[in-house]
Amino acid sequence: MHADERWASSDGGPGAPFEDVEDVAGLGALPDDLQPEVRDFVRAMRGLFQATQKTLRQFAAYHHFSAPSVSRYLSGKRLPDKNFIDALLKSACKAHDVDLTPDVQGYAYRLHREALLAQQPGRYRLQMASDELEEAILQREQAELQIRDLQLSVSDQKHELNRLERQKREIERDAAEERGQTAAAIEVYRGRQRDLEEQCDELPEEIGRLEAELAQAERDRDDARVRCTELEREIASVEEDAEREALEVQVKEARQNMADASDLAEERLVELRHAAQQAENLRDEAAREAQVKRAQADAMLEETRTRRCFSDHVRSQMMSAARVTVPR
């Protein structure tokens, strides 16, 4: 399979060995009335499905989908959730021993969003809000991890500052207690003291920087929490629209299934009527043949009776004539 440039990496590197296709063995042709965005998405999903090197039932069983659902997704009758896209991507990449890149995943997700926007705007808004909530939760968790790291760093730096200040005081005390030392020894004490003072002067600045980062991380965490709450309310408000759209899709699908069943029933009825007509024709033909054969049999019977009567008459005449000619 040749790589489709639409699956190519954004940095100009080689793309994944996938392509958008329409005709796949084991799958029927796509309906002519599919919206362009939906057709583009389904063609991409068919390409990924073909790349998995699995049959429809094998893929459904392996990834815990029902086979009819997979069939509907790959025929454009129903748009899947992102977990179906993730399963296709994972299976296709595994089959070709390639890594799933952000570009490949992003291309599939973009087509999914465009198809949702074209066919089910309410579900599109729900998906976008869910994606934003997922990102906000991730940001909150990252901020909380950063806060813990910064709190540990601030605590460590403060402990280090206290240790250096204690060490500086000890040097000052030792220097004061040993005033009779040589100038060289005193200079060593002073050098150690200057080093400790420099370190002590630098640490408050570092602690201040860490505390500022900590405060910013806490603000980021609080903002993420607020955003999560807002998105949860937004999701609650659009879920009703998405559920209504999903119900409309199911109703449309049920009506289509009913129409297909009605067409099939009509075809079967026509076939049954044709079979009944053929049976009626055969019965009439059989009746006519039986009538002809019965008439022929009756004629043969009548002819046999006539011959028998004639034979009886001739025999009677002969017997009468014989009686007359016999002498007494």
Who wins on pLDDT, 110 or 261?
110
- Region for 288 from its dihedrals, namely left if φ exceeds 0, alpha if ψ lies in -120 to 50, beta otherwise: alpha
Q: What is the pLDDT of residue 261?
A: 77
13 — pLDDT class (breaks 50, 70, 90): low
Average pLDDT over residues 184-206: 71
Residue 263 DSSP SS3: helix
Tens digits of residue pLDDT in 145-174 = 888 888 888 888 888 878 877 877 777 777
Render 75-100 in DSSP notation, one character per residue: HTSSPPPHHHHHHHHHHHHHHHT---
Tens digits of residue pLDDT in 137-146 = 888 888 888 8
Average pLDDT over residues 195-222: 80
pLDDT of 2 higher than 60: no
132 is written with which tokens? 């934003």
Q: What is the pLDDT of residue 61?
A: 94
Q: What is the pLDDT of residue 1?
A: 43
Pick the range with the lowest mean pLDDT from 21-30, 103-112, 187-196, 249-258.
Answer: 187-196
Who wins on pLDDT, 88 or 139?
88
16 — pLDDT class (breaks 50, 70, 90): low
pLDDT of 183 higher than 60: no
pLDDT of 279 higher than 70: yes
Q: Please state, for a pLDDT cut of 90, what percent of the chain lies above it.
A: 22
What b-and-e string marks burial along 181-218, b requiring 16 or more CB atoms within 10 Å of the CB? eeeeeeeebeeeeeebeebbeebeeebeebbebbeebb
pLDDT of 196 higher than 80: no
Residue-averaged pLDDT of the chain: 81
In whole angstroms, give the CA distance from residue 166 to residue 170. Answer: 6
What b-and-e string marks burial along 94-124, b requiring 16 or more CB atoms within 10 Å of the CB? eeeebeebebbbebbbebbbbbbebbbebbb
Report how far Cα 55 is from the mean position of its chain's Cα atoms.
15
pLDDT of 123 higher than 80: yes
Q: Which of 42, 87, 45 is nearest to 64 (CA)?
A: 87
Q: Could you give the residue ranges of the DSSP H alpha helices within 1-120?
A: 36-52, 56-62, 67-75, 82-96, 102-119
Tens digits of residue pLDDT in 32-79 = 889 999 999 999 999 999 999 999 999 999 999 999 999 999 999 889
